[in-house]
Amino acid sequence: MLPLLLLLLFLVPGSALEEPQLFQLFQTSIFPNTSSAEIAGRAVLGDVQIFSLDPATWNLDLSYPWVRQAIAESDAEKIESHYKIYMRNLVRYVRDVGRQAGLAYPLVIQIRAGCELSPNGTTRGFFDVAENGASLVAYEVGLQKWAAQQQSLLAEMVKTFLDKRKAISGLMDHILVISCKSHIHSLHKYGKETLERQVQPVAVVFARVPSPAHLLLVCRVTGFYPRPVRVDWLRDGQEVPPGPELNSTLTLPNADLTYQLRSVLAVTPHDGHSYACRVQHSSLGGRSLLVPWASSKTGQKASVVIAVLVTAAAAVIGAFWCWRRRTQVDGDLLETRDLAA
């Protein structure tokens, strides 16, 4: 009974939004000359694309059917019905400023806007503008003004130009904080399966022998989602602290929107210690993946033995839960018996 209960415990989904949520809109506008503009854009929540902008029609291509439901529920629908006006204004503003500042074409304007929702519920909105690859101005949310991001006449000019448009500032504060936050919540409500997808990592430990006196233990962890992961080496059951003998790649994307990582530990051959790679990931609940290094005579054989380590904490919680269930069941039985009597 206990293993089943533990399994159930692990499968209970955690309360949503334990991680910071970053909603970002990227827009790149290329002005080849004074009369044309090409605009590309897309929105992402974390690493999941939500929609993209059709450069020809400026229509939004929603990346999943549930995005429509999420948009309908939040302010996003109102914003969606007005964003083409914003795009036209943007093109006009860039041309006006370009003319006043005597800018040379082609011109590239990039915008990154959105918000970050912290697990504690606070929201930080942002709206950054870059020109030809360099930060130009950023909106200061809550202060209703813009800040130059470089010391140039152009940045000052754009700042002054935008500061005068008070109607925009008021709207920006609302969109970047209140609308953005409610949009993240409704995206999670309808797109839970995609956004809160959990895929367990697969880990393999093998060795490389660059020279007879050196042994590199490689722990290859792949196929996991979401991105945050923790990979440690255990020497005789003790975590190997960070140091020169420990190396790890960055977490890199796979083609199927999962991630991979390698951690390398340099050891002396036949040092008499036991080694294991430990992987901690949200998809494993409270458990860890423990892959021991099976040192053979040649020390080169790959180890694919995967063991699951139930952490002491999880076991304690599980036992406690089981105990509570039992007391409750006993109580229920007692009550039934009383009724029958």
Ligand X SMILES: *[C@@H]1O[C@H](CO)[C@@H](O)[C@H](O)[C@H]1NC(C)=O
Positions that interact with ligand X (CB under 6 A): 20, 32-33, 35-36, 118, 120, 122, 245, 247, 264, 266
Cβ proximity to ligand X: between 43 and 107 the closer is 107
φ and ψ of 304, to 5 deg: -120, 15
Distance CA 146, CA 135 (A): 13
Cβ proximity to ligand X: between 137 and 265 the closer is 265
Cβ proximity to ligand X: between 14 and 331 the closer is 14
Using the structure block, give the residue that is written with the tokens 């109607």.
167
Q: Which residues of 258-274 are buried (b: 16+ CB within 10 A; e: fewer)?
A: bbbbbbbbebeeeeeee
Cβ proximity to ligand X: between 35 and 298 the closer is 35
Distance CA 6, CA 9 (A): 5
Cβ proximity to ligand X: between 118 and 328 the closer is 118
| Closest approach of ligand X to the CB of residue 306, in Å | 24
Q: How many C-beta atoms lie closer than 10 Å to residue 207's C-beta? A: 22
Show contacts of 50-59: CB within 8 Å, 24+ apart.
Answer: 50/23, 50/187, 53/27, 58/84, 58/87
| Closest approach of ligand X to the CB of residue 62, in Å | 28
Distance CA 142, CA 126 (A): 10
Counting every residue, how long is the chain? Answer: 341
Cβ proximity to ligand X: between 33 and 81 the closer is 33
CA distances to 25, 235, 320 from 259, in Å: 23, 26, 35
Nearest-Å Rg of the Cα atoms of the chain is: 27
| Closest approach of ligand X to the CB of residue 37, in Å | 9
| Closest approach of ligand X to the CB of residue 5, in Å | 34
| Closest approach of ligand X to the CB of residue 247, in Å | 4
| Closest approach of ligand X to the CB of residue 167, in Å | 30
Q: Which residue type occupies 275? A: Y
